[in-house]
Amino acid sequence: MTDLSITQLPAARLNVLEIWSNPLAVLDRFKKAFGPPLPPLGSSLQLLDRQLIRYEPTVWLVEGETTGLAEVLGSDGSLTAIGGGIVRVRLSGAGWRSLLMEGGVFDAESETFAAGCSAATVIDHVNVRLLVESDDACLAYVPLSYAHDMIHFWTVAAQSLV
């Protein structure tokens, strides 16, 4: 078996930040409030005690503190708590990329999928959000209703990797 660990992490404060209208105004307000711009599609930004991870054109996952974000959005978007519905799973070790290729439709082995990169994909018919932490680790955000089965799928698949 390949060097690989599959670890369910403790619950975290997770919110979805969505922009519905006036994206340029929201982006400008964000930059004025926090300094750097919101991360572009497929990437993330660690900002003090929060991480913003962009998975879709107008959607970011916020892990951690949300202070000031609702004010930045105003009536142009929403900030929605989803922490109770998501399980975070760390895939670590040399085999995490190969594991994500099992039952997946995303090229997790691409050299461009590096630390700080994010992706929304489907693995074994489950919508999964990925965040590369380092060369040796990736976080997977899995819907709570599928987490047990997804972890089991990965555990079984890991046994066949060489």
Per CATH, the homologous superfamily of domain 14-83 is Heterotetrameric sarcosine oxidase (3.30.70.1520)
Q: Nearest Cα to 63, choosing from 14, 99, 97, 25?
A: 14
**What torsion, rounded to 10 degrees, do the Cα atoms 61, 78, 38, 123 define?**
30
Task: Note the pLDDT of residue 162.
Answer: 65
CA distance 19 to 77: 4
User: Which regions in the chain score pLDDT beneath 50?
Assistant: 1
Class of domain 5-11+85-159: alpha beta
Compute the C-alpha angle 92/93/98, nearest 5°.
90
53 vs 55: CA distance, rounded Å: 6
Note the pLDDT of residue 39.
96
Residue 45's pLDDT is what?
Answer: 96
What is the pLDDT at residue 26?
97
How high is the pLDDT of residue 105?
87
Determine if the pTM surpasses 0.75. yes
Provide the pLDDT for residue 91: 98
Report the percentage of the chain scoring pLDDT > 70: 98
Write down the domain spans for the chain: 5-11+85-159, 14-83
